[in-house]
Amino acid sequence: MRAADGITWSRKPTIAAQRNDDLTADWFPDGVLNTCYNALDRHVAAGRGDRIALIFDSAMTKTLCNYTYNEALDQTARIAGMIAAQGVGKGDRVIIYMPGVPEAVFAMLACARIGAVHSVVFGGFAAAELAKRIDDATPKLILSASCGLEPHRVVPYKPLLDEAIELAQHKPYRCIILQRPQLEAILSPERDLDWREATSSAAPAACVDVAATDPLYILYTSGTTGIPKGVVHDNGGYAVALHWSMRAIYGIEPDDTWWAASDIGWVVGHSYQVYGPLLYGCTSVLYEGKPVGTPDAGAFWRVIREHNVKSFFTAPTAIRAIKRDDPEGEILARDGVGNLQALFLAGERADPDTVIWAQNKLGVPVIDHWWQTELGWPGLAVCFGLGDTHTKIGAAGRPVPGYRFAALDEGHQPLPVNASGVLAIELPLPPGALTGLWRRQEHFRDSYLSAHPGYYATGDGGMIDDEGFVHVMGRIDDIINVAGHRLSTGAIEQIIAAHPNIAECAVIGAADAIKGMAPVALVVLKSGVDRDHAVITHEIIERVRHELGPVAAFKSAAVVNALPKTRSGKILRSALRRIADGEQIATPPTIEDPATLDAARKAFFQIGFGKTVD
């Protein structure tokens, strides 16, 4: 309730939580608020309207735009009016299918302003996947753009959107398209509107009060059934948690500049590019570019330096890409990182080699922390803003206040310290976590609550040590059984990543006729390494055998130029596992570069797994 005081309420809650029969909780159930008001209007009302709210730095177009809170409020209110003019109101859904541009940020806030529920779909997502989300969310309106920009190419969005609508059973009433000068789209006269024309004629919309328990947004994540899971986050609990986390976890104050390097289509973009920093009243950086290649491995350091970023949040894969291209940190040493005080990593396991490299080169605390789309904000962290600087290499921090973690055995009982098991969170989850799955509450209970009674199932394995640090070793299905011995592919990856020539790696368990499963590795070399690949893979195999012992039965590794990853930077381990087992799979819709999947097929075939490609 003290944390709730950080939010401006139309009706202040008198109840912290209302417990449900399934042990979940509705947070601040009698509270009423507007999340957009808290992110923009109240800062303007407090006399901070001239403070920079959003810095848009596009390495793709070589442009820089700053938006004050006054300007962000004006843009958001007009976009909210544009949306409302299409008959969208409280509780209606709006899909946002856009690149990471300021208009997309303002569109999210505009939906919140009028009580509509937004669902951001990563720009350029495959048409079939977008169609599934259209059918599930049943939006009245889709907001999109003519194109997105990638290094060396322009990605046309409008053809993908048109195909998705054709495939979908649900047809939106209207689409509004932001025309970008790099590629203008052909609009359908009966359905499509031009963004700038529609906003110029729209009257600014006022804030609409909603209940704390009303949905703010739906964010889809992959489901095991092939149907994407629409994770729902509410208004009240989410606002309270994010506002509290900016200072407590990340050490940010209202006069600071903060940067979370993520696309708005992912939960990090929602929580820490848009809502978290704006709720807290600080400056958020929105970057259109890559960690390398736009133009070089110093791109992130330039943004941090030029915009005086205090704390920075990115995925370990981004740091590994930088380390691969600039292994000695020469660009970083030459140009520096300004006043950066901390680097936070999340999104996948941060291997010790990457953490140590970043610590040595940056000279600031490097803090690994852990959370999920479903949680909406960190569950494990070192709370930097509360004065905690005690990190432990290989651990994702301690439980953040509000979370109670346990490592469970097969009988759902908590294990003693240092014993590995299934990581779970005791119910209820804290404010800010998912309230369910859109239109699928039974599936929500089956997916997250049924496996371990009284707990939320994270899907990850790990252990809690004697200092309370939680070590997350990866998804449960990344535990492989080699001749009866349970081994963590994360532990093998950790050993491989420590090799001085390796930039990053992925280890999967492939089917083996004798041992049941066998560990197989794909590795990417650091830039400039020109040693014989056979020698390097032999050294890797010997390292693993030495550190884990012959029980690991590790004898298969291959070098590739790049690992298959999603656009958010996660390695497609499930796809790799199936390819190594010889399965024919469709190209995952989330993949960043399909060519990496073909390269993986060839590499597996060369070391005796899977099938080759034509």
Convert 463-487 into a string of H (helix), E (strand) and C (coil). Answer: EECCCCCEEEEEEHHHEEEECCEEE
Alpha helices in 372-449 (DSSP H): 441-444
Confidence grade of residue 610 (pLDDT, cut at 50, 70, 90):
confident
Closest CA relative to residue 112, chosen from 68, 79, 67: 79
Q: What is the pLDDT of residue 613?
A: 44
Instruction: Say if residue 287's pLDDT is above 60.
Output: yes
Give, to the nearest 10 degrees, the angle between helix 573-580 and helix 594-606.
40
**Distance in angstroms (rounded) separating the CA atoms of residues 414 and 59:** 49
Q: Give mean pLDDT, residues 308-333.
A: 93
Instruction: Say if residue 223's pLDDT is above 70.
Output: no
Query: Could you tell me the sign of the dihedral formed by the alpha carbons of 408, 409, 415, 418, in that order?
Result: negative
Q: What is the pLDDT of residue 486?
A: 60
Classify 382-476 by CATH class: mainly beta
User: For 103-112, what is each residue's pLDDT tens digit?
Assistant: 999 999 999 9
Query: At residue 373, what is the residue type?
Result: T
Q: Give mean pLDDT, residues 534-547.
A: 90
CA distances from 227 to 130, 134, 374, 435 (A): 11, 12, 16, 19
Domains 382-476 and 483-606 share a fold: no
Instruction: Say if residue 325's pLDDT is above 70.
Output: yes
Instruction: Say if residue 224's pLDDT is above 60.
Output: no
Instruction: Say if residue 226's pLDDT is above 70.
Output: no
Q: Give mean pLDDT, residues 507-521.
A: 84
pTM of the entire structure?
0.86
Domain ranges of the chain: 382-476, 483-606
Q: Give mean pLDDT, residues 166-177.
A: 97
What is the CATH topology of the domain spanning 483-606? GMP Synthetase; Chain A, domain 3 (3.30.300)
Least confident of 55-69, 123-137, 259-273: 123-137
**Distance in angstroms (rounded) separating the CA atoms of residues 294 and 528:** 19
Q: What is the pLDDT of residue 518?
A: 87
User: For 52-74, what is each residue's pLDDT tens digit?
Assistant: 999 999 999 999 999 999 999 99
Instruction: Say if residue 431's pLDDT is above 50.
Output: yes
Using a 10 angstrom Cβ sphere, with 0-12 exposed, 13-18 middle and 19 or more buried, the burial of residue 159 is exposed
Instruction: Say if residue 612's pLDDT is above 60.
Output: no
